[in-house]
């Protein structure tokens, strides 16, 4: 067994491509590290951390752990403080350090596809990843964000954060028709979530779509008409 262990945690998690991606990177870098996967649901993170030995170096976190980890962190990056979500944890002896790399990941994915700025953005969903999506949209210059969500109360943190960034924030029901044509649609909906939401071709002809969910085939298109897929 290697002396350095890492893993991705969450629930559901078996679909994750993180072990394959990280293991390939370790091979290229010549690192004898092991990256695994662990099913950890709501309430299970404290016990998981307590059971780790000194071989563990870091963790990747996905739903539902990105916010649950916050009270367990000894230090946190500025972006964790802004978004209230951490997806990366480094274990330094007894110190638990948290980072948010989702914001940079979303931002750079847009830039990689030559999308350098956005003014209007629709965000589908209101979980921890939606918080990062709002922050990333702010980095790209968004001034108007509409969040589509089933339970408006769940979007309170995202709305408050966007307003702190000087962004005009609005809410609508997840199945409600869009109120205007956005520059981009960012779907943070988990696999399996169904919605009656549809965008007309006129609304989305020039929009880009960023879908965070894993699934076989091209990204889901929550509307008819053409689109450019970013993620």
Q: Residues 95, 74: contact at Cβ < 8 Å?
A: yes
Q: How far is CA 30 from CA 25, 56, 143, in A?
A: 9, 18, 44
Distances (CA, A) of 220 to 214, 215, 216, 227: 10, 9, 10, 11
Strand order in the sheet with 4-10: 33-39, 4-10, 56-61, 88-92, 95-99, 75-76
What residues have CB less than 8 Å from 31, skipping those under 6 apart?
4
| Phi (first) and psi of residue 147, to 5 degrees | -100, 125
Q: What whole-number distance in Å separates Cα of residue 126 and Cα of residue 147? A: 7
Laid out side by side, the sheet with 168-173 consists of 168-173, 144-149, 120-124, 184-187, 208-211, 228-229
Contact call for residues 66 and 128 (beta carbons, < 8 A) = yes
Is 66 annotated as catalytic? yes
The number of helices, as runs of H, and strands, as runs of E, in the chain is: 7, 12
Which is the catalytic residue, given 22, 66, 76, 223? 66
Q: Which residues are catalytic?
A: 66
């Amino acid at each position: 067994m290697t002396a350095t262990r890492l893993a991705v945690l969450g629930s559901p998690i078996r679909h994750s491509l993180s072990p394959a991606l990280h293991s390939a990177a370790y091979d290229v870098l010549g690192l004898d590290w092991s990256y695994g996967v662990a099913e950890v649901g709501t309430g299970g993170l404290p016990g998981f951390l307590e059971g780790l030995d000194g071989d563990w170096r870091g963790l990747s976190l996905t739903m539902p752990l990105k916010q649950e980890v916050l009270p367990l962190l000894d230090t946190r990056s500025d972006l964790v403080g802004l978004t209230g979500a951490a997806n990366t944890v480094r274990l330094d002896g007894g110190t638990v350090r948290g980072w948010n790399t989702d914001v940079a990941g979303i931002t750079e994915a847009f830039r990689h596809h030559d999308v350098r700025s956005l003014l209007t953005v629709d965000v589908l969903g209101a979980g921890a990843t939606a918080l990062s999506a709002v922050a990333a949209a702010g980095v790209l210059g968004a001034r108007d964000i509409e969040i589509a969500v089933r339970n408006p109360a769940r979007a309170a943190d995202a709305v408050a954060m966007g307003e702190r960034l000087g962004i005009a924030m609005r809410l609508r029901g997840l199945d409600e028709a869009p109120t205007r044509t956005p520059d981009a649609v960012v779907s943070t909906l988990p696999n399996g979530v169904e919605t009656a939401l549809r965008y007309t071709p006129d609304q989305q002809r020039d929009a880009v779509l960023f879908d965070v969910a894993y699934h076989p085939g091209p990204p889901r298109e929550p509307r008819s008409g053409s689109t450019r897929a970013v993620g």
